[in-house]
Structure 1
Amino acid sequence: MREKNERQKWKKILQEKVQPAFLAPWQEEHKEKEFKEIVRETLYNINSLKGDKEEQKCFLGESKYIIKDKNDILTVQEKAKMPEESTSIKEVMKEVASYFNGMFNWVHPKAMFNVTPPAAIPSVMGNLMGAMFNPNLVEEEYSGNIAALEVEVVGMISDLVGYDTSQSIGHFTFGGTGAYLFATKLALTKCLGKESRWEGIRKDPQILVSKVGHYAVKNCTDWTGLGMNNVRAIDIQEDSSMNLDHLEQVMERCYEEGKPIAMIVATMGTTDAFGIDDLKGIAEICDKFVKKHNLKNRPFIYADAVIGWAWSVFNSYDFKENDMEFSKDTLKAIEECREKIKYLYLADAIGIDFHKTGFTSYNSSMICLKDHNLLDLVTRDRNQMAYLYQFSAYTPGEYTLECSRGGNYALGAWCNLKYFGLEGYRAILGNLIESEKSLRKVIENESSMVCVNYKDHGLVTLFRVYPKSLKKILGSEQFAKEQYDKEFKDPSYKESLVKYNEYQFKVVNELQKILFEENGPALSFTSNFRVTSYKEPIAAIKAYPMSPYMICAEDELKEHIISYILKAADRVDC
């Protein structure tokens, strides 16, 4: 009798509490209504945390943070207990909404913290569909036609950057680092031969990247076992692009030392200053190097274009006609970037983040290869995976690092690419560049501020602010510009540079307080956006607008951004 009751209890719990938490396996109108109601209430809970338009608040809810220091982490972990009994879905969704208090609202024009975009609705819905039906892109059998959708995105991107779509191939991965890691593995195997997959790395292949290239190169050389000491940093030019003369010198040094060059990374849009390397020049140097030394393999060229890829939408733009009617300054900035981005097709592989300048939900990254035959280097034997690949024509799990790859990556990207098209992305980027130009003009008119990346043409504006007391000391109306110029060029100003690097951080620290106390802008800080002529790091405050609602009017920028920066500086001075 006891056994029978226990069976009845689990059946009751299953039917009344467990099954309602899942979508129905067939059409049931009442189940669909229940799901819509849960979605509606969840949206209400989260949207109620937004401020109104007059409030100008760029974060959700209240500035209540559960974790304020390291001790709080331990407290949270110790208190966390899984409930004994099931909770109602509505209660769970109401409770989880509270964790969004203090979260930046990335679609707000004052949220300029870093290269973090708001997710466009098409990508959100694509992610929702992926979450509902859970396709796994390990192979076609587990993902159905979502596999074809991933291939379509590869085709669209290949066509956009100039790859031959009959030869290219690609797949989505877990982020820009995932794309970088896959490229590193390909480069190492190409350099050392397939046997290295069994024997390991027994030489010291070198990876060359500019000094302002992403730190992912250190992660990838560490995690592959190559070792971070086998990364060689190449000097940069004034526009933050790789110095090609120094690249040639380092390549020759590698040859003299008997160390093969596995990979050269062309950074196509640095995070801080949006420096774009001369990919055409890098490819020419590689060809010259191979010919000179009669080498069997050319170094693998990886284009780290996770941010810059989006400028490819201007490859077919008629800059003379200027149908989008961009301003003269914006048009010039876009064209200068396009002149470098248009050579992406020369790279052996390209890393792309749709969750940056593609405006999709996190995370959505892709690596695209120029030649599908490269995959032969890393493809695994099917016998290792006996329970997979019995019926599928599309089997990326044979060569990807991941076995499980959610279809959400591809769904979000596909929906945005289809929705925005070339004109949509051109309008988004154009607006952000227009606002960047306006912001720099406002900064230029402030005697205590100086833009330190005025020659760069990305979305980011980097600047430094100085105490007004310097005006009397230097006896100049343009005291900020003069002070920074001396700090950048004159080694005797090293002490001042360090002092005012710390000053920038103090200003940003005050801005963080003003953000929550007075609904100020969300700006960030970089401790080393580049180095001085005497190799010292330069710190800067960073404004990285990514919202399609970003304003371009100079008077509004002054009111909503500059006034708060000056207030923060005054607080530091006091």
Structure 2
Amino acid sequence: MKSNASRLKTTHKDIEDLLLLNNINPYLNKTIKLELKMIKETLQDTNIDNIKPEILEYLVSKYTQYLLPNSGLGNTFLNLSENLFKSLALLRKNANFTACIDSKIDCELNLKEIPQQGISIETVIHHIIIKYLSDVPNYSSNYVPLNVIPPSLIPSILAKFACAIINPNLAYESYAGKAIEAEQLAISHIAKIIGFEPEKALGYFTSGGSSGNYWAIRCALEKAFPGWGKKGFKSFLDKEPVIIQSILGHYTNINAARLLGIGTDNVITVPTKQNFGICLKAFKLQMEKAIKDKKQVICIYLIAGCTDSFGVDDIKGVFDIREELCQKYSISKPHLHVDAAVGWIYGIFKNYSVNDNPLGFDLETIATIKSLNNLYSNLRYADSVIVDPHKHGFTSYTSSALIFKNKKDLLLLQKDLEETPYFTEDSFCSFPGAYTPETSRPADGPLMLLSNLYALGYEGYQTIIGYAIQQTNALKSKLEFNFSKSLQILNKDVPGTSTIWRFYPNGTDREKAHTRELFGTTQEDALFIQQINEYNYRLFLEAKSLRGNKTPILGYSNQVIIGKSGIPISGWKCIIFHPLVDINSIISHLINVFNNEN
């Protein structure tokens, strides 16, 4: 058998013969002539002696070990996985942050440059993976109630791990297999939880709540201006599109208005009440004014679980006003979108018997559950809802879904067949890539949620979230008891697992001070708010400096609510997703901080 070198030499001779033929035959195809010339030049630059197939075979063998075998997982992967898990166990110490593991790096490993030759996977585990997962808040522990980030439950972690191995792409059925069915099933379950009819609803998992909100507004544009996707700005030259939301609406909608060409000036904000819900009277005035000004309200954006306070807009009240004004002025109905990224999961309590109370919650928690059922039953009035299982669904990032009550709304976003020439094997109308913005979507979002839903069931979710609510109510009571003259809870009557509060210096009447912050309108009132904001942030920084490695990490928000002065009111926050957060430790820590300052 000829060696590669001898074969190359033979090829070289054949090409010379062809070029000679080319000189004889002037009618030889010009393209062939050019290719032959390029091949000859390449071969002239090639040192035949440097062609060493045994080296290439060795390197192929070396680096293809990083591929999984055709079946099973292989010993290499299993052994390395065990190595990784042992390292992760060391990383996750019993503390509020992951350990700072910065092993001594081999002198030949320069992390500022990609190595010319690959390093061992064991080295990658210790010097890359573990190194850069150090000093992260230990979200799976009970020390991190600082924000709406939950501990990931084991079923969802396993689902994410499995998806990384199998690697399905939900944008296209041929690439996703049965994972497509997992998404459809997850959407159906979510629809039932939030009060939509699963048979009529349709949705998909996306890359986060921001993406879902953006795409809901994109749908609103298509409903208001049919053909907008093709015609663009020309389709609404005669009317100015506007979005109406509360002043506490998520900033992603401002960005969506910017990206979609609506313009940030065309986002109309409405004041909120003390319960953080939109003021219906002000909303009606703003919507009616927009209609009279010949503007087209394309989307009404509401919140069901504000990120900090967990406040809920009056969805039914806004729905009724929309119906009234649209009938009065004979105009099309704007799309009603609800951001329930935080609060969607509270729908699990709809089937909980508060009279029998089978899980044994205390009376205050039962009252909270009743309040949640009253508020979140109104999600059914929305046209679309965004949910984040990576919050109260206890999955890892990212698991978010956008759901439309009427599947016809989602189909307004469907692309033309000509736009997707790559997808030819499946029926065009069935593959998700026809209507989703992404053409690459992992399956871990729906599979993580399904794994948790089936592993916990209604009882499991009701137990974990119900106990977290009970802990939150207890924290509010303990804060008021221990700081009776110096602390005001800002969301005392808002049901859920969030506690927002604000300290006032000794000698200040906290109730009068907070009333002044909410309703004061003078320059002096605005200055007073700023001074108390600065006081609280100084205390918060002091709390960080005094925090031990087992002290729960608390959060802080620069804008919890905005009073009549227009100045944002800041506050501390504790959001209990992990039901075993030590609230007594929080109280002790805050007492220490407050006494140090005063």
| Global fold match (TM > 0.5) | yes
- Distance apart, 1:246 and its partner CA: 1.1
C-alpha contact (below 8 Å) 1:173/1:179 kept by paired residues = yes
Q: How far apart in 2 are the matches of 1:334 and 1:129? A: 35
C-alpha contact (below 8 Å) 2:96/2:549 kept by paired residues = no
2:56 counterpart of 1:10: yes
- Distance apart, 1:548 and its partner CA: 3.4
Q: Which residue of 1 aligns with 2:179?
A: 146
Residue number among 64, 67, 75 corresponding to 1:33 in the alignment: 75
- Distance apart, 1:195 and its partner CA: 4.1
Aligned residue identity for 1:450: Q
Residue number among 453, 456, 459 corresponding to 2:494 in the alignment: 456
Q: Which residue of 1 aligns with 2:33?
A: none
Q: How far apart in 1 are the matches of 2:196 and 2:97? A: 41
2:309 counterpart of 1:263: no
Distance 1:375 1:485, change over 3 A: closer
> Once the two structures are superposed, what CA deviation does each residue of 1:223-282 show, in whole Å capped at 9, x if it has no partner?
111111111111111111111111111111011110011011121110111111111111
Distance 1:385 1:60, change over 3 A: same
Residue number among 378, 398, 406 corresponding to 1:371 in the alignment: 406
Q: Which residue of 2 aligns with 1:527?
A: 558
2:288 counterpart of 1:243: no
2:537 counterpart of 1:505: yes
Q: Which residue of 2 aligns with 1:164?
A: 197
TM-score (norm 1): 0.89
Residue number among 119, 126, 130 corresponding to 1:94 in the alignment: 126
Q: Which residue of 1 aligns with 2:12?
A: none
- Distance apart, 1:169 and its partner CA: 0.7
Question: Helix, strand or coil: the match of 2:390?
Answer: helix
Aligned residue identity for 2:488: V
Aligned residue identity for 2:569: I
> Once the two structures are superposed, what CA deviation does each residue of 1:105-159 show, in whole Å capped at 9, x if it has no partner?
1122221111011111111111111110110011211100100110011111122
Q: Which residue of 1 aligns with 2:526?
A: 494
TM-score (norm 2): 0.86
C-alpha contact (below 8 Å) 1:280/1:343 kept by paired residues = yes
Q: How far apart in 1 are the matches of 2:372 and 2:126? A: 46
Greater shift, 265-274 or 94-103, is seen at 94-103
Q: How far apart in 1 are the matches of 2:589 and 2:257? A: 42
C-alpha contact (below 8 Å) 1:314/1:426 kept by paired residues = yes
Which runs of structure 2 are paired with 1:248-397 in the superposition (5 Å)?
248-295=284-331, 297-392=332-427, 394-397=430-433
2:65 counterpart of 1:20: yes
Q: Which has the larger radius of gyration?
A: 2
- Distance apart, 1:519 and its partner CA: 3.7
Residue number among 209, 225, 237 corresponding to 2:261 in the alignment: 225
2:87 counterpart of 1:49: no
C-alpha contact (below 8 Å) 2:171/2:432 kept by paired residues = yes
Greater shift, 377-386 or 361-370, is seen at 377-386
Q: How far apart in 1 are the matches of 2:229 and 2:124? A: 50
Gaps of 5+ in 1: 65-77, 552-556
2:245 counterpart of 1:212: no
C-alpha contact (below 8 Å) 2:278/2:313 kept by paired residues = yes
Aligned residue identity for 2:526: K
- Distance apart, 1:488 and its partner CA: 3.6
C-alpha contact (below 8 Å) 2:517/2:569 kept by paired residues = no
Distance 1:389 1:158, change over 3 A: farther
Q: How far apart in 1 are the matches of 2:597 and 2:60? A: 60
Distance 1:487 1:163, change over 3 A: closer
Q: How far apart in 2 are the matches of 1:230 and 1:80? A: 46
Distance 1:3 1:301, change over 3 A: farther
What number of residue pairs does the alignment pair up? 536
Q: Which residue of 1 aligns with 2:155?
A: 122
Q: How far apart in 2 are the matches of 1:457 and 1:59? A: 29
C-alpha contact (below 8 Å) 1:274/1:457 kept by paired residues = yes
- Distance apart, 1:206 and its partner CA: 1.0
- Distance apart, 1:63 and its partner CA: 9.6
C-alpha contact (below 8 Å) 2:213/2:253 kept by paired residues = yes
- Distance apart, 1:534 and its partner CA: 3.3
Aligned residue identity for 2:76: E
Aligned residue identity for 2:346: W
> Once the two structures are superposed, what CA deviation does each residue of 1:183-228 show, in whole Å capped at 9, x if it has no partner?
0100011111114533335342111111111111111111111111
Gaps of 5+ in 2: 6-47, 103-109
Aligned residue identity for 2:437: L
State the superposition RMSD in angstroms. Answer: 2.0
2:214 counterpart of 1:181: yes
Q: How far apart in 2 are the matches of 1:14 and 1:79? A: 24
C-alpha contact (below 8 Å) 1:511/1:520 kept by paired residues = no
Residue number among 533, 536, 543 corresponding to 2:574 in the alignment: 543
> Once the two structures are superposed, what CA deviation does each residue of 1:274-327 show, in whole Å capped at 9, x if it has no partner?
1111111111111111111112x2110111111110011012222222222211
Aligned residue identity for 1:143: A
- Distance apart, 1:536 and its partner CA: 2.5
Distance 1:199 1:451, change over 3 A: closer
C-alpha contact (below 8 Å) 1:268/1:305 kept by paired residues = yes
Q: How far apart in 2 are the matches of 1:486 and 1:242? A: 20
Q: Which residue of 1 aligns with 2:105?
A: none
- Distance apart, 1:493 and its partner CA: 4.1
Q: Which residue of 2 aligns with 1:73?
A: none
> Once the two structures are superposed, what CA deviation does each residue of 1:478-533 show, in whole Å capped at 9, x if it has no partner?
x4445434444445443332112011111111222233x55422111111100224
Q: Which residue of 2 aligns with 1:465?
A: 503
C-alpha contact (below 8 Å) 1:137/1:405 kept by paired residues = yes
Aligned residue identity for 1:569: F
Distance 1:259 1:322, change over 3 A: same
C-alpha contact (below 8 Å) 2:499/2:575 kept by paired residues = yes
Aligned residue identity for 2:85: L
Q: How far apart in 1 are the matches of 2:315 and 2:529? A: 33
Distance 1:249 1:493, change over 3 A: closer
Q: How far apart in 1 are the matches of 2:177 and 2:415? A: 22
Q: Which residue of 1 aligns with 2:36?
A: none
C-alpha contact (below 8 Å) 1:262/1:300 kept by paired residues = yes
C-alpha contact (below 8 Å) 2:201/2:405 kept by paired residues = yes
Greater shift, 492-501 or 535-544, is seen at 492-501
Aligned residue identity for 2:78: K
Q: Which residue of 1 aligns with 2:588?
A: 563
> Once the two structures are superposed, what CA deviation does each residue of 1:426-448 show, in whole Å capped at 9, x if it has no partner?
11211111111111111101233
Q: Which residue of 2 aligns with 1:75?
A: none
C-alpha contact (below 8 Å) 1:208/1:264 kept by paired residues = yes
Aligned residue identity for 1:484: H
Question: Helix, strand or coil: the match of 2:299?
Answer: strand
- Distance apart, 1:99 and its partner CA: 1.9
Q: How far apart in 2 are the matches of 1:539 and 1:215? A: 17
Q: Which portions of structure 1, spanning 4 or more consecutive aligned residues, are displaced by more than 6 angstroms? A: none
C-alpha contact (below 8 Å) 1:306/1:353 kept by paired residues = yes
Question: Helix, strand or coil: the match of 2:295?
Answer: coil
